[in-house]
Amino acid sequence: MDDRFNTIAGWVLFSGIIALGLSILSGKFFHADNPEAPETPGYVIEAEEEGAGADAGPDLGTLLASGSAAAGEAVFAKCTACHTIEQGGANGIGPNLYGVMGQPIGQHVAGFAYSSALSSHGGEWDWANMDAWLQSPRAFANGTKMSFAGLSSAEDRANVMLYLESYGGAPAKPAPAAPEAEEGAEGEEVDGTGEGPGVTEGANPDAVEAAGAMGDEQPIPSN
């Protein structure tokens, strides 16, 4: 019994020594204790620059020209929890917005407690400033009391501004951007006019040549 136990223990010990030796050899061969980065990575993930994939879309002037105050009224429903817009309307959590377009930023309602971030911003509520404000109030005036996250849709912002304009007017709208001129295959501008064949140089054709150019059913001069 003791001989069998010693034999088994010997084989187990021998197997352990072999395993330890193989582990040491593989570690030295594969540099397991000092891993090295490959000279050339297997693949590279290239991230787009911030905003690079965003579509610019139509300019503000074009959006205002194609928008409508009626569509803006539906979007403005989100604002009625804090604002009124009718002339003489009471202030709520936010000020009454009648005639706000064109007025100094953060000052158009006397006595309202605007945040210092807004009242000290400067400028007036022109179309560009109102567009930036509606897109992200906190980005426009960091520290504003307004908790509204903003309107991500440029069309919705344009329509809301047109709705605000219908209550008290607004400054002149920005003109739509001029469309870019179309270019031909080699970069030349296309003016839309076709070019027919030019004048063929040479002598006038004689009767035989003229006859050859005519159709089968056309009469041929006798001389």
pLDDT at 22: 76
pLDDT at 51: 40
pLDDT at 52: 38
pLDDT at 53: 39
Among 10, 9, 161, CA closest to 85: 161
12-40 pLDDT, tens digit per residue, is 877 878 877 777 776 666 655 565 655 65
pLDDT at 2: 64
Is 32 strand, coil or helix?
Answer: coil
Q: Is-above-0.85 flag for pTM?
A: no
Q: Which domains does the chain have, with CATH numbers?
A: 60-165 (1.10.760.10)
Flag whether pLDDT at 214 surpasses 50.
no
Alpha-carbon distance 95 to 108, whole Å?
9
Over residues 70-93, mean pLDDT: 95
Higher pLDDT, 189 or 93: 93
Alpha-carbon distance 178 to 35, whole Å?
60
Reported confidence tier of residue 8, pLDDT bands at 50, 70, 90: confident
Higher pLDDT, 191 or 152: 152
Locus of tokens 């400028």:
123
pLDDT at 200: 52
Give me the helix-helix angle, 154-165 and 127-135, nearest 10°: 130
pLDDT at 197: 53
Alpha-carbon distance 146 to 131, whole Å?
15
40-70 pLDDT, tens digit per residue, is 555 444 444 444 334 568 999 999 999 999 9
Name beta bridge partners: 221. Answer: none
